[in-house]
Structures are given as C-alpha cells and as structure tokens.
C-alpha cells in the first residue's frame, strides 16, 4: 500500500484535510507575508553616497569663511566694549531677579554678578594716599546687634515686661522671651552656622514677621553664620521687611560681615557678593544701611569702595535715591572713598537738580584750603563732574573752579579740566522749571 502524499499550498503550507474544523485550520496555517521590494536602483545608491560627503575643496572654503566671520564678530565685540569702558572693575551685566515670599530664587546662579579677584586691581600708592584722609572715630565702640539688645535690656530691667523703645533705634522692640523660645532660636543659630544648601529652618523664616525680630535674630548669633547663610538671610529679609527694618538689617548684620570679609580675604566670595547684590532690591535701605554708613565711617578703603561701587555701576538706581545719596556724600567730611562714590554716581549720567550740582561744586571748592596733597581719585572725580555737568554750573562757580585748579592741580588731569571749562557754556539763569517735584520731597533726605 503506497504512502499518502501531503498537499501543499502556494507558499509551502501544508494543507490539512477537511476533517479539522475551520478555526483549527486557521491556527495551524502560516499566513503569507507580502514581499518587500528590496531592489534599489544603482543611481539612487550613488546619489545617497554623494550626499554623505562634501568635496575637499568645498569644505576648506566653508571652514575658511566661518573662521573669517568669527574674527569679524570678535572685532565688533571688542569695539563695543571699548566704547562702553569706564575706569572701574569690569563686571558683567546684571539681570533682574524676582524674589518669592520666602526670599528664595528659583533660578539664580548669580553668574552675572560674580567677579574675579584679578579684576579688582588696587594701586598701592593711591591706597596710601587715601589713608591720609581717614577719619577714625575712636570714641565710638564697635557694637553688634546682640550688644545693642543686651545693653537696652540692662538699662530697662524694671520695665522689661513692657515694650521698650530706644532713642537710637526708635522701632526696636524688646520683650520677655520664654525659655523654650530662646532654646529653639539658639539651635536655629547652630543650623545657620553649618548651613550649606537646601531650605533654611522654618523657625528662621518667621523672624521677619515678629515684632521683636531684632531681639530674636540676635539669639541666632549672626556673627557665626556661614557665608551661604548670609545670602539666604538677605534674600529673606529683603523680601519680607519694609525699608526701615531692612536698613537696620543691612547696617547691623550685613555691612559688618562684608567689611570683615574684605579685610581678611581682600575680596568678597561668591555668596557674600550675591548677598550684597540682593540688598540693592530695597534701594533706600541699601543706601541708608550700607553706602552712607560706609562713607560716614571715614575708614572706607579703596578696595572696599571698589567692591561696593561695582554694584552701583551695574544696578539701576532711581534718580531720587541717587540724587539724595550724592548730596549727602558731598556734604560729609572728605575721605578718599567719597570721591570714588561721587565719581561712580556721576558716570551714570543722571539728570541732577541744581541743588545737587551746587552741593557737588561746594564739595570740591571746600578742599582749596586743605594743606594736604589730594589723591588722584579726587582729581578724577572733578574731571568726571566737569565733563558731564559743565553746562549746568553758573559762571561764578566756573571761575571758582578755575581758581581751585590753580591751587590743587595735577599735571595730566588739570589741563583737560581747564580746556573743558573754557569751551563750556555756563548756566546763567537759576531756572527750576526742569527740576522734578520729587527733588523737594522729604523722603529723599538721609
């Protein structure tokens, strides 16, 4: 008996007999797949290969053209930088940052405000000349916030349960604190001393909302905080305190730390410089708590003036605050740092009222009878003033400045000042029509 032959389909499938149901036949059968057309014409393959490679001559031309464009862009950038160059540290342009309610930035690396130590180049001879004009105040003792609070508590032991107001700090309030509160904020101070990154303690965040916030802040021992903690604290207090309270924070906490760091390290590190930058967001508190006290101390060095002044160079300062600050500095007893800050303000080319211009003129004329040799910085500030405001001074003031430069002269700077005064038109009328109303506002007074 012969072997039964198997039936196969067109694609080689074994055709099962009809004895199986249809669904079983479908499961066991192999479904045919459509064959893909794998044939590619040879001319298409050649075209694809030609597109992958560029001719050697063409590639060299492209590279040469790209290099030439980069050189042209560099030349344009160098020319633009030379036009905007000022005799001050070269800091990058700041970008405005928004502060949230906790004073913490969501996107703030601070790279635009960072400076390099080599940029702050200090002339030692000029530094020595400025030291001759220091005005040390030996009678005033250096006090911290803790010393002020404790001194007032000792003076008012009998009425400690009531709110006590002080004459030198009218809004400083002292209350009797519970032992647990003192213990908690003391531990918060230990955390701030070791703070490196992350969220600051929640107990620290509620300090700005407290009535006796200075007393509570003193419990955290600010002098022991880490540098990063100063940045976090400045963000918090700048965002949550009003101008008056923020001024006290800048004067009692931030300014002593910044000056101490400059004296030891000859510069500010990244975090402290960012803290200084954050303080500018409250402009009035920045001037009243940092710049004005720094000039009034009489011991501000050229290095300190350069670092603090770098913020003024790049930050946007309202005209009202800048005018008031210039007038206040011009009326102070002269020190070398005053000339640097005045020069920095003048270079911002602000439209000043006649009252401020007259104050600056008298500031320079006051040095005519000084027997000491003035530093080069004083002559530079006078030259900068004459360059920008020579048309805003009266004829009498112009003659007085001419007599001044005969007594106080510099071999290279004085001839340029004399030429500018000769070619300038004087202000012969005392018209105040172009002076804004805010010039006479009491809020501009320091």
Q: Do both 247 and 325 map to the same domain?
A: no
Alpha helices in 32-178 (DSSP H): 42-52, 56-83, 124-131, 145-155
Domain boundary among the residues 253, 281, 309 is at: 281
- Tokens of residue 57, six digits: 């001559």
Q: pLDDT band for position 432 (50/70/90)?
A: very low
Q: Do both 371 and 422 map to the same domain?
A: yes
Q: Do both 323 and 236 map to the same domain?
A: no
Percentage of the residues of the chain whose pLDDT score is greater than 70: 59
Residue 319 in this model has a pLDDT that exceeds 80: yes
Examine residue 183 and state whether it is found in any structural domain, yes or no: yes
Q: Do both 146 and 273 map to the same domain?
A: yes
The CB-side HSE value for 316 (13 A sphere, CA atoms) comes to: 5
Alpha helices in 157-206 (DSSP H): 179-193, 202-205
Give 226-272 pLDDT, tens digit per residue: 999 999 999 999 999 899 999 999 999 999 999 999 999 989 999 99
Q: pLDDT band for position 101 (50/70/90)?
A: very low
Examine residue 387 and state whether it is found in any structural domain, yes or no: yes
State the Cα–Cα distance between residues 96 and 98, nearest whole angstrom: 7
pLDDT at 60: 73
Residue 195 in this model has a pLDDT that exceeds 60: yes
Examine residue 121 and state whether it is found in any structural domain, yes or no: no
Its sign, for the CA torsion 101, 103, 109, 113, is positive
Boundaries of domain holding 198 = 141-281
Give 395-428 pLDDT, tens digit per residue: 899 999 999 999 999 999 999 999 999 887 766 6
pTM: 0.66
Examine residue 128 and state whether it is found in any structural domain, yes or no: no
- Other beta carbons within 10 angstroms of residue 104's beta carbon come to 15
384: nearest Cα among 415, 427, 349 = 349
Q: Do both 444 and 343 map to the same domain?
A: yes
Q: Do both 246 and 377 map to the same domain?
A: no
Q: Do both 147 and 269 map to the same domain?
A: yes
Examine residue 57 and state whether it is found in any structural domain, yes or no: no
Q: Do both 160 and 241 map to the same domain?
A: yes
Q: Do both 272 and 166 map to the same domain?
A: yes
269: alpha, beta or left, given left = phi > 0 and alpha = psi -120 to 50?
Answer: beta
Residue 152 in this model has a pLDDT that exceeds 60: no
Give 339-372 pLDDT, tens digit per residue: 999 999 999 988 899 999 999 999 999 999 888 8
Examine residue 45 and state whether it is found in any structural domain, yes or no: no
Coil vs helix vs strand at 31: coil
Q: Do both 235 and 326 map to the same domain?
A: no
Domain boundary among the residues 281, 302, 327 is at: 281
Examine residue 89 and state whether it is found in any structural domain, yes or no: no
pLDDT at 95: 43
Give 268-294 pLDDT, tens digit per residue: 999 999 999 999 999 999 999 999 999
Q: Do both 353 and 445 map to the same domain?
A: yes
Examine residue 226 and state whether it is found in any structural domain, yes or no: yes
Residues 11-40, mean pLDDT to the nearest whole number:
61
Q: Which residues are within 8 A (CB) of 6 and not within 5 positions of it... i.e. 6 or more apart?
A: 14, 15
State the Cα–Cα distance between residues 349 and 95, nearest whole angstrom: 20
Q: Do both 218 and 326 map to the same domain?
A: no
Indicate the number of domains in the chain: 2
């Amino acid at each position: 008996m012969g072997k039964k032959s198997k039936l196969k389909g067109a694609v080689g499938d074994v055709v099962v007999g009809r004895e199986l149901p249809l669904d079983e036949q479908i499961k066991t059968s192999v479904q045919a797949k459509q064959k893909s057309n794998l044939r590619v014409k040879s001319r298409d393959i050649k075209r694809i290969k030609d597109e992958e490679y560029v001719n050697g001559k063409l590639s060299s031309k492209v590279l040469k053209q790209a290099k030439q464009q980069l050189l042209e862009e560099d030349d344009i950038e160098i020319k633009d930088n030379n036009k905007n160059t000022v005799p001050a540290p070269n800091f990058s342009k700041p970008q405005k940052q928004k502060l949230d309610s906790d004073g913490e930035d969501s996107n703030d690396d601070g790279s635009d405000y960072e400076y390099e130590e080599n940029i702050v180049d200090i002339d030692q001879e000029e530094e020595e000349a400025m030291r001759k004009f220091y005005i040390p105040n030996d009678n005033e003792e250096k006090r911290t916030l803790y010393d002020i609070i404790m001194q007032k508590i000792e003076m008012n032991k009998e009425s400690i349960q009531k709110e006590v107001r002080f004459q030198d700090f009218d809004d400083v309030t002292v209350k009797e604190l519970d032992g647990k509160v003192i213990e908690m904020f003391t531990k918060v101070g230990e955390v701030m001393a070791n703070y490196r990154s992350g969220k600051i303690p929640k107990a620290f965040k509620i300090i700005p909302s407290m009535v006796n916030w200075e007393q509570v802040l003193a419990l955290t021992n600010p002098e022991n905080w880490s540098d990063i903690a100063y940045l976090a604290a400045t963000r918090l207090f700048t965002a949550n305190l009003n101008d008056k309270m923020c001024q006290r924070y800048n004067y009692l906490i931030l300014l002593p730390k910044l000056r101490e760091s400059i004296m030891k390290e000859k510069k500010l590190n990244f975090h402290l410089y960012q803290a200084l930058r954050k303080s500018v967001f409250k402009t009035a508190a920045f001037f009243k708590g940092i710049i004005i006290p720094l000039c009034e101390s009489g011991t501000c060095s050229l290095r300190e003036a350069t670092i603090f002044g770098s913020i003024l160079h790049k930050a946007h300062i309202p005209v009202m605050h800048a005018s008031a600050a210039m007038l206040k500095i011009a009326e102070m007893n002269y020190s070398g740092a005053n000339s640097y800050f005045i020069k920095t303000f003048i270079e911002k080319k602000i439209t000043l009222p006649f009252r401020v211009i007259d104050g600056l003129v008298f500031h320079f004329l006051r040095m005519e009878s000084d027997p000491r040799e003035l530093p080069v910085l004083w002559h530079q500030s006078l030259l900068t003033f004459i360059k920008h405001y020579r048309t805003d001074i009266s004829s009498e003031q112009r003659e007085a400045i001419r007599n001044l430069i005969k007594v106080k002269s510099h071999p290279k700077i004085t001839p340029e000042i004399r030429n500018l005064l000769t070619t300038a038109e004087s202000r012969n009328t005392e018209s105040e029509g172009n002076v804004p109303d805010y010039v006479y506002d009491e809020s501009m007074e320091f």
